[in-house]
Chain A
Amino acid sequence: MKILAVNDTRAGLGNLKDTIETTGFELITASSGQEALQVLEKEYGNVSLVLLYWNEPDTDGYETLLAIKGDERFRSIPVIMLCADYYQPKEMQAFKAGANACLTIPFNQKDLAAKISETLGKRGMILAKLARISNLPTAPPVLVALLQKLNDENYTIDDLVSLIEEDVALSAKILAVANSPAYRGTSEITSVRTAAVRLGFDEIKDISMVAIISSSLSSLTIPNLGRFWIHSLAVGYTAQVLARRAGRKFPPRLKGYLFTAGLLHDLGSLVLYHLFSKEVQILYDRLPETDLTMYQLEEESLGIDHAEVGAYVARHWKLPEAIREAIAFHHAPWQASSSMKPLVSAVHLADFICNNQEFSWIDDNFPREFDSSSWELFDMDLDDVPEIIDEVKEIGQKSEIFAALL
């Protein structure tokens, strides 16, 4: 996310660049109103805010403001006028023309930073910070490679084994999991190939996914990291169970995504905590005293919730659209596009059920209702519920063992 400073005066930008960068934005500049419009056009969608110098006679700061606000495409971009005393009496005029704030020159860095965050709101600041991603982990190539193959019918178990064997740490992790009580067979498994044969293609694919994802996210921590992975694993497995029970009603083209979508659905929580641990910790502490659920609290106090943050990261990582939607809409599946709805619904219901069974990762006040159209999509019967719960209990135990190895 960028901030455009338009300065057609002789005055320099001073330490504007430093100030902007501390707020998490990238500074770009234009030296005339005309150039400003060109930049906005070229950077369409990337500019969060415009700083407009209006500090000397004969400069066209005000005209530039009119031009930006007069253009359908740019009208919604907030503008802060940086004006000289000279123009202070004219501030009203600028506000009437659509300026969002005015700051008198000279100003100190803190004032500017405060004005920017006030103008953009918390949500804007968080999105900006996310966009800077310098402190976000990047998606490891092996994850991207595997994700692309999730639904590829020509991908064989041999391809997968060679992909894993290239990565020593990954191979070791997979062997540890394959030999754990969650999977243990009669004899010890000593090679990835044997593990693949013993456990089957789908299972080894899921295990690799967990190993890859957990190690690529290992720089992100959260107070209940262990429970976080138990929850994520349990939601992944439960989503698979629900889809399996739905039989033909669940589209085969989405099957390959179920586990990974479940595994990643709360990704945004990790990222939010990583970037805003202090603020998020306050929300955790507030949970016992409110009836709101965690994502409502996030929305209320940060202006953005973990679903949106997670979806943002998913896009940044170029994860498949199916996974991104599952992350984005796992609390509100009715917002999903209709082709992805079954996947999103499976994750939504799985999350609801796992939380209900205490395979949750914070002591949240869980939503009391699930989306009934999601349930109807799977056409499950009330009499199926005890069986589903039994399966989920087993899944939870398996996930606990599994998570301990991550």
Chain B
Amino acid sequence: MAIIKVTPQELTELARFLEKVRGIVIPPNKAYLVESRLSKLLEENGMKSYRELVDLLKRNPPKPLVDKIVDAMTTNETLWFRDSGIWEIMRDEIIPDLDRRIPARRIRIWSAACSTGQEPYSISMLIHRRHKEKRIAGPPSRYEIVATDISMSALFLAKVGRYDRISMSRGFTGQWATYKDEFFKTTGNTAQISNEIKDIVHFQRFNLSDPLTSLGKFDLVLIRNVAIYFSLDFKKELFRKIYNAMNPGGYLILGASESLRGISSDFKLVTRPRGFYYTKV
């Protein structure tokens, strides 16, 4: 893959665009980062320079392309309750169903590229809130959330559970705002997530190209905003492995802009007004 050079002017325009639409900041001294991460994307889209990309973005940016840029630029980028709709579905439909259907054993959930922990902790918060509100029979410890990632640095922050001002400002909007008050203790510039939320989450380093057998079987799998950069073959293999690692009736959740079309036909797609998920029938 050839590296395509970005000019300072193009970099400024690109950075301004990303800042405006996604609140992502590219420092001006990170030209090399842009070049190493986006050159492949340009090539795939038949573009010869960043000028073409910037002009397209300014005119009429195709959402999938923007998603790809964002993800390439911000590998660990994540937020609380990312894509609000699917979290409503989890809260109102998926978790109650698991709770009802699986009364007698542990309910196992896998956050397959958990980054700095926002995704698995958001699930844990949903579960804890539900238990408090509905006075559910079993304790939240009947859930086990396995959270894995390849980045030690991300996992370190996840495991510590202390977040800076910027992380805390992403995602706790609208109906999710109260979770911030309930489950965090803020001191100065940072906020510490509470132990009860941490207790049911187990972090572990795991590379998605490795066999899944060591992780056991799951009832709910979240694999979001990570597969986009894998090759088609890798993705086919990955979702075959995931299928085998799921209990019958289990749920699979992807990122809001992802889909299994052309990758796997093993799962059943369920579409709701607020989002979609897959199940293993």
Q: Name A residues whose Cβ lies closer than 8 Å to a Cβ of B.
A: 290-292, 296, 299-300, 356-358, 360, 363, 365-366, 368-372, 375-376, 382, 385-386, 389
User: Contact at B166–A382, with CB atoms within 8 Å?
Assistant: no
Q: How far is the CA of A360 from the CA of B77 in the complex (A)?
A: 23
For A288, the closest partner residue in chain B by CB is: B165
Q: How far is the CB of B245 from chain A (nearest CB, A)?
A: 21
Known pairs A357-B162, A372-B152, A389-B160. 5 more at Cβ < 8 A? Answer: A300-B27, A358-B188, A363-B188, A369-B151, A382-B155
For B202, the closest partner residue in chain A by CB is: A382
Q: How far is the CB of B150 from chain A (nearest CB, A)?
A: 9
Task: Tell whether B187 is near chain A: CB-to-CB under 8 Å.
Answer: yes
Determine the chain A residues whose CB is within 8 A of the CB of B203 once the complex forms: 382
Give me 15 A-to-B residue pairs in the complex whose CB atoms sit less than 8 angstroms apart, sorted by A's number. A291-B166, A296-B27, A300-B27, A356-B162, A357-B162, A358-B162, A358-B188, A363-B165, A363-B189, A365-B165, A368-B153, A369-B153, A371-B153, A382-B204, A389-B160
User: Contact at B29–A376, with CB atoms within 8 Å?
Assistant: no
Q: How far is the CA of A44 from the CA of B260 in the complex (A)?
A: 64
Chain B: residues with Cβ within 8 Å of the partner, total of 26
Q: How far is the CA of A290 from the CA of B165 in the complex (A)?
A: 11
User: Contact at B156–A368, with CB atoms within 8 Å?
Assistant: no
Q: How far is the CB of A183 from chain B (nearest CB, A)?
A: 26
Known contacts: A300-B28, A300-B29, A356-B160. The answer to whether A370 contacts B190 by CB under 8 A is: no
Q: How far is the CA of A292 from the CA of B19 in the complex (A)?
A: 12
User: Contact at A366–B164, with CB atoms within 8 Å?
Assistant: yes
Q: How far is the CA of A369 from the CA of B205 in the complex (A)?
A: 16
Please pick, from A296, A358, A376, A382, the residue contacting B159 in the complex, using a CB distance under 8 A.
A382
Q: How far is the CA of A300 from the CA of B76 in the complex (A)?
A: 24
Which residues of B in the span 144-201 have a Cβ within 8 Å of any Cβ on A?
A: 151-157, 159-160, 162, 164-166, 187-190
Q: How far is the CA of A360 from the CA of B153 in the complex (A)?
A: 19
User: Contact at B156–A375, with CB atoms within 8 Å?
Assistant: yes
User: Contact at A382–B157, with CB atoms within 8 Å?
Assistant: no
Determine the chain B residues whose CB is within 8 A of the CB of A366 once the complex forms: 164
For A381, the closest partner residue in chain B by CB is: B205
Q: How far is the CB of B240 from chain A (nearest CB, A)?
A: 28
User: Contact at B25–A369, with CB atoms within 8 Å?
Assistant: no
Known contacts: A358-B189, A375-B153. The answer to whether A368 contacts B28 by CB under 8 A is: no
Q: How far is the CA of A366 from the CA of B152 in the complex (A)?
A: 17
Q: How far is the CB of B229 from chain A (nearest CB, A)?
A: 18
Q: How far is the CA of A358 from the CA of B29 in the complex (A)?
A: 27
Known contacts: A356-B157, A382-B203. The answer to whether A368 contacts B188 by CB under 8 A is: no
Determine the chain A residues whose CB is within 8 A of the CB of B151 once the complex forms: 369, 372
Please pick, from A290, A299, A356, A382, the residue contacting B25 in the complex, using a CB distance under 8 A.
A290
What per-residue 1/0 map shows which CB atoms of B252-268 lie under 8 Å from chain A?
A: 00000000000000000
Q: How far is the CB of A295 from chain B (nearest CB, A)?
A: 10
Determine the chain A residues whose CB is within 8 A of the CB of B160 once the complex forms: 356, 385, 389
Determine the chain A residues whose CB is within 8 A of the CB of B204 once the complex forms: 382
Determine the chain B residues whose CB is within 8 A of the CB of A299 once the complex forms: 29
Determine the chain B residues whose CB is within 8 A of the CB of A371 once the complex forms: 153
Q: How far is the CA of A386 from the CA of B160 in the complex (A)?
A: 7
Determine the chain B residues whose CB is within 8 A of the CB of A376 once the complex forms: 152
Q: How far is the CA of A300 from the CA of B205 in the complex (A)?
A: 35
